[in-house]
Structure 1
Amino acid sequence: MKELQVELNNARSYPIYIGSGLLGQTALLNRHIRSKQVLIVSNDTVAPLYLSTLQTGLSDYQVETIVLPDGEQFKTLQYLEHIFDKLLSKKFSRNATLLALGGGVIGDMAGFAAACYQRGIAFIQIPTTLLAQVDSSVGGKTGVNHPLGKNMIGAFCQPQCVIADADVLDTLDDRQLSAGLAEVIKYGLIRDPDFFVWLETNMALLLQRDKQALAYAIERSCINKAEVVAEDEFETGVRATLNLGHTFGHAIETGTGYGHYLHGEAVAIGTCFAADLSRRLGWLSDADVSRIIAIFKAANLPVTPPAEMTVARYIDLMSVDKKNVDGKIRVILLETIGKALLPLNVELNKLQDTLLQYAA
């Protein structure tokens, strides 16, 4: 087992545990559960696979469970209410602990519920997808979607710990595995050029689920995420670079209906948009853009956006983004492969040129 630390210079610092067979190691949970009241939040895909394993190690606790439907389209205030209903009906106190057993949707929703219930209770992230293990479970961003914008309703709420059990990836389908690789690739692009080269060389091993390669990719990604979060917990500066491709990607997710594209798929397409725009503004070369497109293709990710999305639709949806200031669209771009730029106001005509290359 590897243990990394998210150093926040305050009581919100916490460990990330990475290894195999961690779901059965109750001692890890015991270190971070605050009281005898535990609510496990999961979904109807993950619960049949791993809920009983988790419950077995918690026999000394008052354990309640709630199983939500699986999918981005259920990441809403309506379904968030079900978590509050369970907490209240079982008379959970403010010393209770939520366990988020699932992918990014479950982690975001359980974390947001923890941030809100009685003005804040503890929660633990137990991510079961590659994307959640390398990205969404680390950093304390929680929330739900709105029909007009993704992740626009939420709160910062750091977990007590993150337990990333690599064994659960054995049951992850190929599409979800590739979606997680989009966020892994992102770290190489924004701050870790040596990792990007490693990914170019080892992508086939990752798709084959080579244990050693996956373990290295998870650890290297978490190290990158932890360092950025430690430097900028509340996204006032460098943390925004973690959103490379996300402004475009969120527009695709919202515009096509939540759940049609997996988050990582939309981010892959969005990163290709960002690379094209970076080239148009004089930073990336043609060869750089070709490398970026090639690595997403190698990861079995889409690089061409939905044909039905118009330029006007992109602009409308991208105007609802947390990085925007005074109504101006700001995006993360690349100066080089391995170095991202902080959010930039982009001239509308340049943005439209990139969008016109693909959009209807």
Structure 2
Amino acid sequence: MGEPGRTRPSGSARALSVAYDTALLDLDGVVYAGGKAIPHAVDALAAARAGGMHLAYVTNNALRTPDAVALHLTELGVPAESADVVTSAQAVARLIADQVPAGARVLVVGGEGLRVALGERGLVPVESADDDPAAVVQGYGGPELAWGRFAEACYAIARGVPWFASNTDLTIPSARGIAPGNGAAVEVVRIATGAEPQVAGKPLPPMHRETVLRTGAERPLVVGDRLDTDVEGAFNGGVDSLLVLTGVTDPAQLLAARPEHRPTYVDADLRGLLTGQPEVSDDAGTFGCRGWRAFVREGALELEGEGEALDGLRALCAAVWTDAGQGTSRLEAAKVLDRLGW
């Protein structure tokens, strides 16, 4: 498990790309959004790779195959091979293969990524509950996934067929905003059947196992934009994490993070891999980061000083996380974040 009592972001005297041997990078909201590279991502990853850091791309999105993901990354200017990509489809396929007979049929509610991953495990994808499946697997299938696919899953699950889900992310970032993710689709089947799936993706152990098996990382750093998948997954796996603010999580959500959702480091974007991280000091409950000082007094969150907004956020994290449960209000946090431009 990760550090259970984290009350402030950590510092690092060395660049993170030097301190860790492998970056386990989420994709949506970290490297790209809506198919386009996030600003600074391409150059930052190239510099990290040139410095000797191994880059692996770990995604809960089960729609695309590793080959397709690697090709997309390469087209964006981030050279990658399929072996550099780890998906929740691969994790759930291994989870299913451990529980059903070799060569078993699996009813697929999702996209090509799931079908290819099942095939790698010697399992046979089928389309209908009438095809005598040994399992049902559900993964993100894109906006075109037909409603009838959910019905097929429900028919099979009602007969007692075990149900698996690649992941349960409720949302997924897109070029136009936040869209429903596989978790929203899983809720449809859960409501209709009353059943509960076995889930493989981040933040759960099957995904961490898949990542370690495929990358061989010894000093990994999880890099993501989500508290409930990337950061919690790192916590569950007992490894460090870097949260980047280019995707789903905003500063207000970061301040409100539960202990298992508190990242080791926080930075604006992937350029954070190339630098050290500033220390956050504690002087009798006043937390300092470079030019900023943050503290909580009688439930009121205060911020003093000047400098980079990100350093102010780091100091605020320390003040609020230390004060967790003592009455710091969301309104107070919003007021202070407004001062920083968030």
Same fold (TM over 0.5): no
Q: Whose relative contact order is higher, 1 or 2, with alpha carbons under 8 Å and at least 6 apart?
A: 2
Q: Which of the pair is proportionally richer in helix?
A: 1
